[in-house]
Structure 1
Amino acid sequence: MIEKIAEQLVNLTVKQVNELATILKKEYGIEPAPSVQIENTLSKKEKTYEKEEKSVFNIILKSSGNSKLSVVKLVKEITGKGLKESKDLVDNIPSVIKESINKKEAEDLKNKFEEIGAEIELK
């Protein structure tokens, strides 16, 4: 008999489980265990964290486009590296051009690269 009840419980739909929980709470005073409430709280915190806006970015060069020389010059200007090191960054795509910069600076640099035909990813 208990096995049949267990089988019936396992095969309930979500709607039926909610109805059962309501009946147990109203008629018998039985509420879900605290662990269920903790899980709900954690999932809410995770969702809130996902919605928070990222504030630190890395600029990653995905493609130099048609104007490789212009991209090398811009990389040299932004990073302060020499011509050879800048060319190596552009030749070895994808490459991190600049790390841990704020959102405004990242967007500005991305726009500069895109103006000369390069493809940039902010991570």
Structure 2
Amino acid sequence: MSTKIEEILERLKSLTLLEASEVFSDFLEETFGVDASISVASTSSSSVNSGAKVEEALVEEKTEFDVIINEVPASKRITVIKVVRSLTSLGLKEAKDLIESVPKPIFEAVTKEKAEEVKKLLEDAGASIVVK
């Protein structure tokens, strides 16, 4: 990179966003004869609107959770299979297949309380669990 470009970049780093937008608006108006305030205003209002939507989405609390078995140590497989069978309506073969094909969801779209309860039971049996 040339020293000229490096100097420009260093100066840009020292500007606030508002200062930079004013400088560029003035530059565009003077150099190209366009009204840059319209595009800056519409861009900033759409940014504010999209920012508000993102904030609203973050405020909403998640109500459905998935319980996923990540890992089961070989020494704990039988215990975990027994717990899986007691929590679900799976037979011995299905529970064994589930344990052997981890990571795998054991429950999907359950309440937070149910997810925490299942997580505790499976972790006590020796499984590594993730609640998403």
* TM-score, normalisation: structure 1: 0.72
Bigger fraction of residues in helix: 2
Q: Is 1:93 matched with 2:102?
A: yes
Deviations 1:26-70 (A, max 9, x none): xxxx67523421221211220331243221011110111331101
Q: How many residues align?
A: 107
**Equivalent position SS for 1:54:** coil
1:114 to 118, 123, 130: 123
Q: CA RMSD, aligned part only? A: 2.6
2:54 to 46, 71, 82: 46
Q: Distance in 1 between matches of 2:99 and 2:52?
A: 42
Q: Distance in 2 between matches of 1:35 and 1:63?
A: 47
Unaligned runs of 5+ in 2: 1-7, 25-36
**Equivalent position SS for 2:67:** strand
Q: Distance in 1 between matches of 2:44 and 2:22?
A: 17
Could you tell me which residue of structure 1 aligns to residue 83 of structure 2? 74
Could you tell me which residue of structure 2 aligns to residue 17 of structure 1? 20
Could you tell me which residue of structure 2 aligns to residue 104 of structure 1? 113
**1:17 counterpart letter in structure 2:** A
Q: CA offset at residue 15 of structure 1?
A: 5.3
Q: Comparing 72-81 with 38-47, which one deviates more in the overlay?
A: 38-47
Calculate percent identity across the aligned residue pairs.
30
For the 8 Å contact 2:83–2:125, the answer to whether it is kept is: no
Could you tell me which residue of structure 1 aligns to residue 42 of structure 2? 34
Q: Distance in 1 between matches of 2:72 and 2:79?
A: 9
Q: CA offset at residue 19 of structure 1?
A: 5.9
Q: Distance in 2 between matches of 1:69 and 1:52?
A: 39
Q: Distance in 1 between matches of 2:129 and 2:89?
A: 19
Q: Distance in 2 between matches of 1:114 and 1:48?
A: 34
